[in-house]
Structure 1
Amino acid sequence: MKGSIVIILFFLIGVVCGIAGWIKLPDTDYGISFYALAALMFFVGMNVGHDADSLKGIRSADPRLLLLPLMTIGGTLAGCALISLFIPRTATECLAIGSGFGYYSLSSIFISEYYGAELGTIALLSNIFREIITLLGAPVLATIFGRLAPISAGGATSMDTTLPIISQVSGRDMVIVSVFHGFVVDFSVPFLVTFFCTL
């Protein structure tokens, strides 16, 4: 929760600096968001490489649980396609936003590059809301829908920011499943967001 508030504060500070013209952005072919994205991808790669040992515990997990990330991805995309029928956004825009799976920093930069700042901001906020809903609603989700529900709700965040609450409400035996789920969903974000943005 604290991490989400910090991200929102930095976003708001950036908006204020942009409106006031306090920071001069370099005039390049790519723009500063390209370099921010490149740096972010570098650190994501470092994070994946650093946590690779934790995936060894998956061998002891029920093989059926390995399908959970695919179910999360499929369910999220189906929900986004359905929602696009009721809001003034195209299906591909909704699918691109939903493909962030809670990974607000990466997906919002990609979407801003393809669709502009307005949709990038929508992506940022919708993915932050997904994380906050998981953090606050995990006990209710686990009670009503079962121990796997908070993991799916967390999306890409199930291996980092929402992992403590998932461990608390779903049980410590679900930690490895949650980390694997977050890893796979996290890995899918740049590919799916780019795919839907280019349709």
Structure 2
Amino acid sequence: MKGSMIVVGFFILGLVAGRMDALPAWMAESGLSFVALCGLLLCVGMSIGLNPDMKSDFKSLNPRLALLPIATILGSWVGAMVAFAIMLGGDGDIIQPRGLTDCLAIDSGFAYYSLSSIFITEYRGAELGTIALLTNIIREMITLLMTPLMAKWFGPLAPISSGGATTMDTTLPIITQTIGQRYVALSIFHGFATDFSVPFLVTMWCMLGA
């Protein structure tokens, strides 16, 4: 939990610095965040490569765990439907002028906020794209903050599902630190599968709602 709070603390610090124009122009215009992410992935990759049991871990995966990305997708859609139902007024009128397909499109980002928001902005407008960006950032931050509690309350697969497409990169360190190295292979597979599905599922729901 301490590590998650440090991560969130740096995120908030970055927000404040950006809002106050306290960052040098070269830092704002360069791909520094991409370089930092690449550095993080390099460290994660090194830790995985140094694990002598990685090959056996892949072979020892239960074939049923390959269905985890499907469970994540379907569970996320159920959550979107629940959110849509909550937004409905007592007389059946929706509080906000958004349809069920909009909610499903946003939820199909699976924390891949950059790509999903671009697609949604293109198909459904900048307002919904901004909502998608914030929603998927919040999902990633919840995973970073709540992984220890989710693993304790709901089991080791819960934080993997919560992380969505980020379980192969940004949330992988906190997930493996919490539930162990034996879930690294599953986390990477889960992240890759959900990541690959984002463009297709987001586009599908956007087009259905058009």
* Separation (CA, whole Å) in 2 of partners of 1:82 and 1:119: 18
**Which residue in the other structure is 1:114 paired with?**
123
* Separation (CA, whole Å) in 1 of partners of 2:132 and 2:170: 18
**Which residue in the other structure is 1:93 paired with?**
102
**Which residue in the other structure is 1:83 paired with?**
83
* Separation (CA, whole Å) in 2 of partners of 1:182 and 1:165: 14
* Separation (CA, whole Å) in 2 of partners of 1:114 and 1:108: 10
AA matched with 1:5: F
Tell me the TM-score normalized by structure 2.
Answer: 0.69
Match of 1:169 among 178, 182, 185: 178
Deviation at 1:5, TM superposition (A): 3.5
Query: 1:112 aligns to what SS in structure 2?
Result: helix
AA matched with 1:149: A
Deviation at 1:58, TM superposition (A): 3.4
Root-mean-square deviation (CA, aligned residues, Å) is 2.9
- Residue by residue over 1:150-187, the C-alpha shift from the partner in whole angstroms, topping out at 9 and shown as x without a partner, is 10000000110000010011111000000000000000
Whether 2:159 is the aligned partner of 1:150: answer yes
Deviation at 1:64, TM superposition (A): 1.1
Query: 2:121 aligns to what SS in structure 1?
Result: helix
**Which residue in the other structure is 1:185 paired with?**
194
Q: Which runs of 5+ in 1 are unaligned?
A: 17-46
AA matched with 1:72: T
Q: Percent identity over the alignment?
A: 58
* Separation (CA, whole Å) in 2 of partners of 1:82 and 1:135: 23
Q: Is the 8 A contact 1:108 1:120 kept in 2?
A: yes
Tell me the TM-score normalized by structure 1.
Answer: 0.73
Query: 1:79 aligns to what SS in structure 2?
Result: helix
Deviation at 1:60, TM superposition (A): 2.9
- Residue by residue over 1:32-60, the C-alpha shift from the partner in whole angstroms, topping out at 9 and shown as x without a partner, is xxxxxxxxxxxxxxx9xxx9xx9976333
Query: 2:103 aligns to what SS in structure 1?
Result: helix
**Which residue in the other structure is 2:132 paired with?**
123
Q: Is the 8 A contact 1:58 1:180 kept in 2?
A: no
AA matched with 1:195: M
Deviation at 1:81, TM superposition (A): 1.5
Match of 1:105 among 114, 128, 131: 114
